[in-house]
Amino acid sequence: MPTQVSVKISGPAFRVTAYVINSKILKQLQSATEEDALYEDNPLSVVGNLALRSMRVANGFCIHNADCFDVEVLIGGKPMKIERIGMLLEGCEFHEEFDSDIDKTLIGKSENREPLGASFPLAKNEMLVLEIEDIKLGELSCDFEVINEVAVKDLELGLVALDAESVISDATYRLRLLNNMEEDIRSINFNNQKHDFHMNVLSGYCSDFVLVKRNSCGDWVQVDL
């Protein structure tokens, strides 16, 4: 009989989404009115409908801020006690990095991090509108079934490295627009399968929109919308 696994991580979050636009779409955004807005009477919120494509830059849960998170793990409906979550550095043994019980610790491994935006190129005429959401209380949730026996030590946090060799990283992380985040929590990995977290906003939400484009030297800069 399959075993149901449920993982929830809740706490303050700083979610960032990148929308790809061109100069034509930029003019549409700059002429948008509150009647066009999708939410909060902010005309720029229509960017999601106009964008050429988009990607999630960060869910806003950096593993290095784990002390601020509440964690709930259920295996077969039974609550598991979690003493700590964190990142295990490549080449290190668990007992070298953590003083907690391995069966009560949820870890991500540095060698398994995915680079941000490795397969998300941008043309020279394209620019980004970043939606930056400051969330007082958000929740990552992940539910899946497994056939094998499973314990907490078998679950791995899937991480995305925000400091990556990619265009998106140049236009966000290196412009210091990601609130000092380094590794973003994205999934639960078990038995070579990735199960993505779903992000819910529970309370205390506000958002802002930032335009990022290349200057005459080809460097990414933040400019006023």
pLDDT by residue for the chain (225 residues), tens only, comes to 789 999 999 999 999 999 999 999 999 999 887 777 677 777 888 999 999 999 999 999 999 999 899 999 999 999 999 999 999 999 999 988 899 999 999 999 999 999 999 899 899 899 999 999 999 999 999 999 998 889 999 999 999 999 999 999 999 999 999 999 999 999 999 998 999 999 999 998 888 999 999 999 999 999 988
**Contact (Cβ atoms closer than 8 angstroms) between residue 86 and residue 107:** yes
Structural domain boundaries, residue 42: 3-223
Which backbone phi and psi does 48 adopt, to 5 degrees? -60, -30
Q: Into how many domains does the chain fold?
A: 1
Give the pLDDT of residue 96: 87
Give the predicted TM-score (pTM) of the model: 0.91
Q: So what's the pLDDT on residue 42?
A: 79
CA dist 207 and 211 (Å) reads 14
The separation between the first and the last C-alpha atoms of the chain, rounded to the nearest angstrom, is: 55
- The confidence score (pLDDT) of residue 193 equals 93
Question: Which residues, in sequence order, are CB contacts of 51 under 8 Å at separation 6+?
Answer: 19, 20, 21, 25, 129
